[in-house]
């Protein structure tokens, strides 16, 4: 490929680097599959935990603001510290989840879709089509406030209105110690969540399900249900009928039962925490956590691409010890291709978008045709030629395929 002219870019991508094994993969992807072929333009933000600590987490906010400015970001998985991480990294604070911070700034919906592969039968064998999780990106648990409550204390919810009047309800009269949590959401954000789900369903020509627990959460979850229904009836009902797709709301426990019995091929809208958990369940049931793409679409038309999985800590510790790892880079790679394709579309660079398509094709050919895959997939694959390779070996095999396509 010595005579290959690198594909130009116009606007930089916002590049958010991250932690542990995904940080290692991040660099490998760039070195092996991107920079030799694309004149990669990025504005780099190091969201690795050390640099978040050094900047008092300002870098996370800066990266979200840059995403608003440029329109497209690609993010590596990051550690959200807990008590153990505070010790491990000698942190001055238990910094918040960068994802929570970024999503709160950008708002919107995270769409997560599994990549189906020849030779991998989902754990639910009736799932022959992908199930896309549409996860509300704002609020709930990810913007919560919480407290420990001592014995003999009364906890209340208090709302102080603009006119100074108060509305209060008792949460609990604590005789013995306990804990409380305050969640919130905003009508405007729920409305944009609903609209982005309806628009996505129309663009994919797929049914949309929305599930929450309005029977138990009669105000909070009920508000979500009502907003979805009002917007559907007023703005989308006719469009859905024209395309021949359906919208329905059901309780989340009923939804789970239906999902398991389904064949896939629809969009399942979930509140923030439900979507977090369900997307891991869906990804794993289709084959591997590392085969799920994830993109945040904000109401202002800003896109942030990422993998749905975390920093793969266990593999990283093996890597640090010099042991061979076989970490699947597909979701992280598809975050890059998703971002490059979007940048290509926005900047009128069809060559850049075509490169992203070819890189994805090369990845699937490597697994499905050549049988070359990482351990998570090799353990499940029914292909006769399935062969487990190490982390870097997988990316090198993709490069061979890519060069045939360019």
Ligand X SMILES: NC(=O)C1=CN([C@@H]2O[C@H](COP(=O)(O)OP(=O)(O)OC[C@H]3O[C@@H](n4cnc5c(N)ncnc54)[C@H](OP(=O)(O)O)[C@@H]3O)[C@@H](O)[C@H]2O)C=CC1
Ligand Y SMILES: O=C(O)CCC(=O)C(=O)O
Query: Would you list which residues are annotated within the binding site?
Result: 80, 97-103, 112, 135, 253, 276
Single residue of 276, 306, 360, 392 touching Mn ion by CB under 5 A: 276
Query: Would you give the binding string for ligand Y spanning residues 217-256, x where CB under 6 A is met?
Result: ----------------------------------------
60 sits near ligand X (criterion: CB under 6 A): no
Strand partners, 113: 293
* Angle (CA) 20 22 28, round 5°: 115
Burial degree of 261 (CB within 10 A; 0-12, 13-18, 19+): exposed
Phi, psi of 114 (to 5 degrees): -75, 150
Candidates 60-68, 96-104, 178-186, 189-197; binding stretch for ligand Y (CB under 6 A): 96-104
Residue 171 CB, nearest approach to ligand X (Å):
29
Query: Would you give the binding string for ligand X spanning residues 337-376, x where CB under 6 A is met?
Result: ---------------------------------------x
| Angstrom distances, CA of residue 192 to CA of 25, 84, 230 | 34, 37, 13
Closer by beta carbon to ligand X, 214 or else 306: 306
| CB-based closest residue to Mn ion | 276
| Angstrom distances, CA of residue 319 to CA of 25, 99, 188, 323, 324 | 11, 25, 45, 5, 6
Single residue of 11, 55, 217, 313 touching ligand X by CB under 6 A: 313
80 sits near ligand Y (criterion: CB under 6 A): yes
Candidates 5-13, 126-134, 308-316, 347-355; binding stretch for ligand X (CB under 6 A): 308-316
23 sits near ligand X (criterion: CB under 6 A): no
| CB-based closest residue to ligand X | 310
Closer by beta carbon to ligand X, 294 or else 353: 294
Listing DSSP states for 339-390 in one string gives HHHHHHHHTT-HHHHHHHHHHHHHHHHHHHTT-EE-HHHHTT---TT-EE--
DSSP 7: B
Measure the CA–CA gap between 39 and 349, rounded to whole angstroms.
13
Closer by beta carbon to ligand Y, 104 or else 243: 104
Phi, psi of 104 (to 5 degrees): -65, -35
| Angstrom distances, CA of residue 328 to CA of 66, 119, 331, 334, 384 | 29, 16, 8, 11, 20
Single residue of 28, 79, 120, 259 touching ligand X by CB under 6 A: 79
Under 8 Å between Cβ of 102 and 261: no
What are the residues binding ligand Y (CB under 6 A)? 80, 97, 99-100, 276, 308
In the complex, which residues of this chain contact Mn ion (CB under 5 A)?
A: 276
Q: Which residues bind ligand X (CB under 6 A)?
A: 77-80, 99, 289-290, 306, 309-314, 327-328, 376
């Amino acid at each position: 490929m010595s005579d290959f002219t690198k594909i130009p870019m116009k606007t930089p991508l916002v590049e958010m680097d991250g932690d542990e094994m995904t940080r290692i993969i991040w660099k490998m992807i760039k070195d092996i599959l991107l920079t030799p072929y694309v004149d990669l333009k990025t504005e780099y933000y190091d969201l690795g935990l050390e640099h978040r600590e050094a900047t008092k987490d300002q870098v996370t906010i800066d990266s979200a603001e840059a995403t608003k400015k440029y329109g497209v970001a690609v993010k590596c998985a990051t550690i959200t510290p807990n008590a153990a991480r505070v010790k491990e990294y000698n942190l001055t604070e238990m910094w918040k989840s960068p994802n929570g911070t970024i999503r709160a700034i950008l708002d919107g919906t995270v769409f997560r879709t599994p990549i189906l592969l020849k030779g991998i039968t989902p754990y639910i064998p009736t799932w022959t089509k992908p199930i896309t999780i549409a996860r509300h990106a704002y609020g709930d648990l990810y913007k919560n406030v919480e407290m420990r409550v001592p014995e003999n204390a009364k906890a209340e919810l208090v709302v102080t209105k603009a006119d100074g009047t108060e509305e209060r309800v008792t949460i609990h009269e604590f005789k013995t110690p306990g804990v409380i949590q305050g969640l919130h959401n905003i009508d405007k954000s729920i409305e944009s969540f609903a609209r982005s789900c309806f628009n996505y369903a129309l663009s994919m020509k797929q049914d949309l399900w929305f599930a929450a627990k309005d029977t138990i959460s009669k105000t909070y979850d009920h508000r979500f249900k009502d907003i979805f229904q009002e917007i559907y009836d007023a703005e989308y009902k006719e469009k859905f009928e024209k395309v021949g797709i359906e919208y329905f709301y059901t309780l989340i426990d009923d939804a789970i039962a239906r999902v398991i019995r389904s064949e896939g091929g629809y969009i399942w809208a979930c509140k923030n925490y439900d979507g977090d958990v369900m997307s891991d369940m869906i990804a794993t049931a289709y084959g591997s956590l590392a085969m799920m793409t994830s993109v945040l679409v904000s109401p202002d038309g800003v896109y942030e691409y990422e993998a749905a999985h975390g920093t793969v800590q266990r593999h990283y510790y093996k890597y640090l010890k010099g042991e061979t790892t076989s970490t699947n880079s597909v979701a992280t790679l598809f975050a890059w291709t998703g971002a490059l394709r979007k940048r290509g579309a926005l900047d009128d660079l069809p060559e850049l978008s075509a490169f992203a398509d070819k890189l994805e094709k090369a990845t699937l050919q490597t697994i499905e045709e050549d049988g070359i895959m990482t351990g998570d997939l090799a353990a499940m694959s029914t292909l006769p030629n399935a062969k487990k390779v190490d982390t870097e070996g997988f990316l090198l095999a993709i490069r061979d395929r890519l060069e045939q396509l360019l």
